[in-house]
Amino acid sequence: MTNTPSGWLLRCVDGSMRPDAALDAPGPHRIGRRATSEILIEDSHASRDHALLEWIGAPPAGGDSAPPRSDAEWRLTDLGSRHGTWLNGVRLAHGRSVPLHHGDVIAIAGRLFHILDRSRESLTTTVRLRARRTEGSNREDAAITRLDAARAESDAARRLSVLLKCAESLRLAEDDAALADAVLDAASAVSSVANLGVLRGLHAGAQDDEIEVVAQRGAIVADDGLRLSRSLIHRAMEGEPVRLTRPRGGVAPSRSVMRLGISEAICVPLLLGPNVTGFLYVDHREAGQTLSNDVCDYLIGLGRLASLALADLKRRDLERRQARVDAELAAAGAAHRWILPPRTGSLGPIRYVGECRPGPSTVGGDFFDVIELPEGRLALALGDVSGKGIGASILMTSAQGFLHASLRQHGDPARAISELNAYLASRQGADRFITLWIGVFDPDRRLLTYADAGHGLALLLWPDGSSKRLREGGGPPAGVLAEAQYVAASEPLRPGARVLVVSDGIVEQRAGGEGAPFGIESAARAAQNEKGDAIAALFDALVAHAETSLLTDDATAVCVEW
């Protein structure tokens, strides 16, 4: 099935936020407590950067008129939130990206959201319930009472053998529609009711409510809309099974109950965790017919069983999605490691040590490359692509290959960045860019020529413990301004000195996840104090600062000495 980025909505169920947040591809749409978040949640249980919604896979180059891509989709990523991001009742692992489907339920900081793909409206029957009867109305509705849950639980033991037969059909259901059909088959097997439906509640706002009919038997849906008791569904939204009976004592029933001829009905909410996600609805429409207590008890048990089956179905679906994403990430991570140069190497008197550790996504946007040039020179390139995940990794791979070829051709760092900038600016949006530092080491002339494209994280380390930032030459990040001009700077190479270049994932790593950042000075001290493997010493200090080996961002460091 093909997928298009337009027409997707994030809808808040409890009405505490704006009803709909349109998801404009490719995003990203950041969810959290930070004031700059695209989807702001002002709640202490929400982290500042809580979760991320992002369209993975660029929209077709021809715009909306081009054929949609089948390998692109919206994905949800938890950004290391303290209280978690929940998808269909399952807590997401930190940093893992999960594909989203129409009808998915997202829970963040006590708020419930639904993911809606408006392009699927033609595939389902969707109707709108009228607003609740306002307080003070003089019309008496049909008598709606809460069923006795304790009695239902005790009676369920007597009907266990029947429910177990139903459980097998529910276990074999592979999607929502198959599960709904199994539920209705099980409901009709023990009752004489002709009107049954499994409904999915898409929105429960303060005014109107949308209900999607997943499966039905009888006269639930007709040409004039949904034919059932809206009041009963409103009551079931509170999370408990409810029953409707005709009022007595000469009290007139509601207009909808009278018009449809409903004599008795029951609505059982279907739950995903604590959240109502749908309903099992049945009613009688012939005079004198009633639902016995045994039938009501059975329907309650069936609803509970259907809720468990639905949770299991969503869990298995989420595991399949996560397994697919994990396989993609593993393949991309392997490709990333494959294109990096060896961790250590030398060319004449020049020696280097470099290491790149991906962040939570396992696929990094950082890279470094060491390129042998004519006349004994050596080029070092370190870059950091904006964003995370596979999209950043693809851009990183393209940029590294482009720079490698460019530097091999002419060995000019400023020219190489200028050529890459022109290449990227003509193909990428302004939201995708690369910060870069490129240096060319010439041992015969004892000279370092370098250019810095918005990176600013390179240092010259002297044996006496002093240091100098190498950020004079260059320009803005590559891919932002097509007309940008990049210039080179130079620095003499003295015996015993080192050049250390790192990515922002190192300097911005916070102590314990939320404390002070590691900083460029700490990186310099760690590298200067180690006479052997300076990069190993730097990462040891970084992990000790973070209090975990699971760093919050891609982290790359390279040290060159001569």
Domain-located, residue 334: no
Domain-located, residue 383: yes
Find the range with the poorest average confidence among 323-332, 448-457, 527-536.
Answer: 323-332
Residue 383's closest CA among 434, 319, 452?
Answer: 434
Same-domain status, 86 and 134: no
- Is the per-residue pLDDT at 428 higher than 70? no
CA distance 473 to 452: 6
Same-domain status, 221 and 290: yes
Among 74, 105, 120, where does a domain finish? 120
DSSP per residue, 22-62:
E--TT--EEEESSTT-SEE---TTS-SS-EEEEEESPPPTT
Q: Which domain holds residue 239?
A: 124-315
- Is the per-residue pLDDT at 508 higher than 70? yes
pLDDT digits (tens, 9 = 90+) for 489-507: 999 988 889 999 999 999 9
Q: Is the dihedral of CA 496, 501, 507, 513 positive or negative?
A: negative
CA distance 290 to 446: 97
DSSP per residue, 403-417:
HHHHHHHH--HHHHH
Q: What does the pLDDT read at residue 194? A: 76
CA distance 447 to 459: 15
Same-domain status, 98 and 51: yes
> What is the helix (H) or strand (E) element at residue 236, kind and residue range?
helix 230-236
Contact 511, 546 (CB under 8 A): yes
Highest mean pLDDT: which range of 278-292, 352-366, 438-452: 438-452
> Which of helix, strand or coil describes residue 141?
coil
DSSP per residue, 145-199:
EE--HHHHHHHHTTTHHHHHHHHHHHHH--SHHHHHHHHHHHHHHS---SEEEEE
Q: What does the pLDDT read at residue 147? A: 63
Spatial CB neighbours of 296, under 8 Å, sequence gap ≥ 6: 147, 152, 241, 243, 266
- At residue 157 the predicted structure's pLDDT band, cuts being 50, 70 and 90, is low
Strands in 97-99's sheet, in edge-to-edge order, are: 39-40, 29-32, 51-56, 73-78, 97-99
Contact 417, 397 (CB under 8 A): no
Q: What does the pLDDT read at residue 458? A: 97
Residue 298's closest CA among 168, 179, 181, 161?
Answer: 161
Same-domain status, 347 and 311: no
Backbone angles phi, psi at 225, to 5 degrees: 115, -160
Domain-located, residue 62: yes
Mean per-residue pLDDT for 302-311? 90
Mean per-residue pLDDT for 264-292? 85
Same-domain status, 252 and 131: yes
How many CB atoms within 10 Å of residue 154?
11
Strands 97-99 and 90-91: unpaired
Residue 56's closest CA among 77, 32, 39?
Answer: 77
Strands 447-453 and 434-442: antiparallel
Q: Is 362 left (phi over 0), alpha (psi -120 to 50) or beta?
A: left
Domain-located, residue 332: no
Domain-located, residue 266: yes
Q: What does the pLDDT read at residue 52? A: 93
pLDDT digits (tens, 9 = 90+) for 89-138: 888 988 888 999 998 999 998 888 999 888 765 444 555 555 444 444 44
Same-domain status, 90 and 217: no
Domain-located, residue 18: yes
Contact 29, 50 (CB under 8 A): no
CA distance 365 to 102: 29
Q: What does the pLDDT read at residue 212? A: 85
CA distance 195 to 324: 40
Find the range with the poorest average confidence among 14-23, 121-130, 304-313.
Answer: 121-130
Backbone angles phi, psi at 541, to 5 degrees: -65, -35
Amino acid letter at 351?
Answer: R
Mean per-residue pLDDT for 147-159? 54
CA distance 412 to 419: 11
Number of domains in the chain: 3
- Is the per-residue pLDDT at 404 higher than 90? yes
Strands 29-32 and 39-40: parallel
User: Tell me, what CATH number does 281's domain have?
Assistant: 3.30.450.40
Among 66, 97, 120, where does a domain finish? 120
User: Tell me, what CATH number does 107's domain have?
Assistant: 2.60.200.20
Q: What does the pLDDT read at residue 436? A: 96
R_g (Cα) of the chain, nearest Å: 31
Contact 452, 471 (CB under 8 A): yes
Residue 89's closest CA among 269, 276, 238?
Answer: 276
Backbone angles phi, psi at 413, to 5 degrees: -65, -40
User: Tell me, what CATH number does 426's domain have?
Assistant: 3.60.40.10
Q: What does the pLDDT read at residue 461? A: 94
Same-domain status, 372 and 474: yes
Same-domain status, 75 and 160: no
Domain-located, residue 190: yes
- At residue 558 the predicted structure's pLDDT band, cuts being 50, 70 and 90, is very high
Among 315, 330, 353, where does a domain finish? 315
Same-domain status, 296 and 439: no
Mean per-residue pLDDT for 158-167? 65
Q: What does the pLDDT read at residue 553? A: 87
Q: What does the pLDDT read at residue 72? A: 80
**What is the DSSP secondary structure assignment for residue 227, as one 8-state letter?**
-
- At residue 75 the predicted structure's pLDDT band, cuts being 50, 70 and 90, is very high
Contact 51, 73 (CB under 8 A): no
Averaged pLDDT score across all residues of the chain: 82
Domain-located, residue 320: no
pTM, 2 dp:
0.56
Same-domain status, 281 and 168: yes
Q: What does the pLDDT read at residue 437? A: 97
- Is the per-residue pLDDT at 63 higher than 60? no
Residue 89 structure tokens: 């009742």
What b/e string do you get for 22-52 counting C-beta neighbours within 10 Å, with b at 16 or more?
Answer: ebebbbbbbbbbeeebbbbbeeeebbebbbb
Find the range with the poorest average confidence among 77-91, 190-204, 392-406, 450-464.
Answer: 190-204
For residue 358, say if its preceding peptide bond is cis, omega within 30 degrees of 0.
no
**How many alpha carbons lie under 13 Å from residue 292 in its C-beta half-sphere?**
7
Residue 216 structure tokens: 């039905």
pLDDT digits (tens, 9 = 90+) for 357-402: 887 765 667 899 999 999 999 999 999 988 766 677 778 888 899 9
Q: What does the pLDDT read at residue 251? A: 52
Spatial CB neighbours of 397, under 8 Å, sequence gap ≥ 6: 335, 336, 339, 367
- At residue 259 the predicted structure's pLDDT band, cuts being 50, 70 and 90, is confident
Same-domain status, 129 and 105: no
- Is the per-residue pLDDT at 58 higher than 60? no
CA distance 365 to 379: 20
Same-domain status, 238 and 379: no
Higher-scoring residue by pLDDT: 360, 540: 540
pLDDT digits (tens, 9 = 90+) for 202-243: 654 434 567 888 999 887 876 666 788 888 888 898 899 999
Backbone angles phi, psi at 386, to 5 degrees: -65, 145
Instruction: Write the CA distances from 490 to 360, 472, 502, 560, integer angstroms.
Output: 36, 9, 19, 16
